[in-house]
Structure 1
Amino acid sequence: MRAVQITAYGGPEVVVINDVPRPEIGAGQLRVSVAATGVNPVDWKIREGHMAFLEVPFPFTLGNEFAGTVTELGEGVTGFAVGDAIYGSVGPIGVFAEELVVDAGAVAKAPTSLSLVEAAALPVAIVTVQAAFDAAPVGQGTRLLVHAAAGGVGSVAVQLAKAMGAEVTALTSPASMDLVRGLGADHVIDRTTDYEQTIGDFDVVLDAFGPSAQDRSWGLLKPGGILISLVTPPDQEEAARRGVRATMTFGAPNAPALAHAAALVDAGKLKPVVQRTYPVEEAVAAMAEVEGGNVRGKIVLRY
């Protein structure tokens, strides 16, 4: 079967499509025929060696979110059947392949109202946002600011927060403002303006952008509020000086969050944003588009 792998750390030249053995299935696992996989910034960061602490021998397969169809059940698996459409995020690597073996407890049935290509755009964002909202519960009346609201994670954060009853202010580029309005944000702000002069007093700031966004966010939090970063550790000394809290969170496999999100999708309260799809043969081009930093929503590989 085909898998998108890297032969060393480096640029696009290290990406290859190899023929690899089918994985063996074990107890508690599902064999999956993959229909599509989402492409994320972490994929090119791993390729470049920014997560070399993983200590995986070369060549290894990239990718960490997928949607596909169950083709075999491992011993002891319940709740799934051959033919089920499922989706999930199962770790930082290993997913860019035509066939997977995954732990049944890490995945969920895919939304019935989406194609598998659309469903593949959601898992990483869902588990990432859930981890953030676990750190700072978001609910009715929570005043939330979302940086990079048109991105793969930001676009899901806006929708999940609205489903929880939050008042959402979204920061995005001028070209993406209409898109973000369509996701249900209460207030959409051009991030290229001096927005610090007009907004503030937030309970939670969600940073999916980076240090420059954090620098502009400290004064926007109310006393005791919290800045949650998804991309770089925030300055704890600055947080203490401002009388606020700060943390960094990471997504992890989370079947209950995926199942809840699937129900929201089928209820019309959550939708993926897919900018473009590529056949797996064009994985290098897909990763390059993500690395360029101008993706609205998600890039998806088709198998």
Structure 2
Amino acid sequence: MKVVGVTEFGGPEVLAVHEVPEPHAGPGEVRIRVRAFAVSPTDTAGRAGQQDTSGVELPYVPGMDAAGLIDEVGEGVEGWSAGDAVMAMALPLGGGRGGAYAQELVAPVGSFTRVPAGISLEEASTIPMNGLTATQMLEKAALSPGQVLAVPGAAGLLGNYLVQLGKAAGLTVIADAADKDRALVESLGADHVVERGPGFADAVRRIVPEGADALADASVQREEALPAVRDGGVSIDVRFWEGTGERGIRFERAVVRDEYRSFDKLDTLRRRVEDGVLTPRVAEVLPAAEASQAHRRLEAGGVRGRFVLVW
């Protein structure tokens, strides 16, 4: 089968299509004939060698989001059949069955669910990893309805999902946006939209002088955004930052690989899409062979939604 991967780590140009042996579903697994896979910053970091890839067999295949049709069902798997349209989270590293940039993805039960009704496979491929990251961040924040969530980076896909799921949980959401993204962020339902940039924390404090109850840092602003949080509040990071320990703030880190088999959460995301709460967003659909272009454009910044690659 074909995969998109790297035999040496580096810039976008190292990505290429490779032929590798076809995998098969084992007990408790299905095999998904991948039709679409989303491109995320986690993928570009892996390709560049910024993650621990020791012991990884080459070519290294990135990708954490896939959608396609089940074409093989392993022993002991019940409730799933060949032809079922599913979306899945993949783990290129850390005990998974390989990355999503592959024509065939072997997935354990729990790592996939049905594609939401009414959307395409391309749209579905944008949901698992970012949706589960947003879900985990909100769980770690542990806010009650009416409390205040601050979301820098709201125009990015993770930020989109944080705003929409935060509002669905009854939170008051303060989000940021550049002028060109204001209409998008307002459409997500944020209660307040402030200017993106170094003045984010001050803008939050003008709305809630005591500070937000939680910061879901979708843009990795860290110390710059931290003053937005009240004393004793919580800050959740997506890149393993341990925080400063100041003002009694609880520092949490989102680790989405922990959600690899979180079927109930993934299926809740499916229902959120079907209910109109969560909006998948595709920036552009490209052929799989153009993965290097997608990585290059993603790293250049300013992308709204996800590049999705298709076989």
Residue 142 in structure 1 maps to residue 147 in structure 2: yes
Alpha-carbon distance between aligned partners in 2 of 1:24 and 1:218, rounded to the nearest angstrom: 47
Tell me, yes or no, if the aligned pair for 1:209 and 1:231 is still in contact at 8 Å. no
Residue 275 in structure 1 maps to residue 283 in structure 2: yes
Equivalent residue number for residue 223 of structure 2? 215
Equivalent residue number for residue 116 of structure 1? 121
Equivalent residue number for residue 78 of structure 2? 78
Alpha-carbon distance between aligned partners in 2 of 1:146 and 1:54, rounded to the nearest angstrom: 34
Tell me, yes or no, if the aligned pair for 1:35 and 1:67 is still in contact at 8 Å. yes
Classify the secondary structure of the residue corresponding to 2:3: strand
CA separation of 1:21/1:290 partners in 2, compared to 1, >3 Å: closer, same or farther?
Answer: same
Alpha-carbon distance between aligned partners in 2 of 1:54 and 1:62, rounded to the nearest angstrom: 14
Alpha-carbon distance between aligned partners in 2 of 1:140 and 1:57, rounded to the nearest angstrom: 46
After superposition, the C-alpha distances for 1:42-69 in whole angstroms (9 at most, x for unaligned) are 1111111111344302212121110111
Equivalent residue number for residue 203 of structure 1? 213
Alpha-carbon distance between aligned partners in 2 of 1:228 and 1:16, rounded to the nearest angstrom: 35
CA deviation after TM superposition for structure 1 residue 139, in Å: 3.9
TM-score (norm 2): 0.91
* Long gaps (5+) in structure 1: none
Residue 68 in structure 1 maps to residue 95 in structure 2: no
Residue 261 in structure 1 maps to residue 269 in structure 2: yes
Tell me, yes or no, if the aligned pair for 1:88 and 1:255 is still in contact at 8 Å. no
* Long gaps (5+) in structure 2: 93-97, 206-210
Alpha-carbon distance between aligned partners in 2 of 1:105 and 1:175, rounded to the nearest angstrom: 39
Alpha-carbon distance between aligned partners in 2 of 1:65 and 1:188, rounded to the nearest angstrom: 29
After superposition, the C-alpha distances for 1:126-171 in whole angstroms (9 at most, x for unaligned) are 1111221221224411210111111121111111111111111111
Equivalent residue number for residue 192 of structure 1? 197
Equivalent residue number for residue 95 of structure 2? none
CA deviation after TM superposition for structure 1 residue 12, in Å: 2.2
Tell me, yes or no, if the aligned pair for 2:16 and 2:289 is still in contact at 8 Å. no
Equivalent residue number for residue 227 of structure 1? 235
Equivalent residue number for residue 88 of structure 1? 88
Equivalent residue number for residue 33 of structure 1? 33
Q: 1:161 aligns with which of 140, 162, 166?
A: 166
CA deviation after TM superposition for structure 1 residue 286, in Å: 0.8
Alpha-carbon distance between aligned partners in 2 of 1:112 and 1:82, rounded to the nearest angstrom: 18
TM-score (norm 1): 0.93
Tell me, yes or no, if the aligned pair for 1:68 and 1:116 is still in contact at 8 Å. yes
CA deviation after TM superposition for structure 1 residue 232, in Å: 4.4
* Count of paired positions: 298
CA separation of 1:138/1:81 partners in 2, compared to 1, >3 Å: closer, same or farther?
Answer: farther
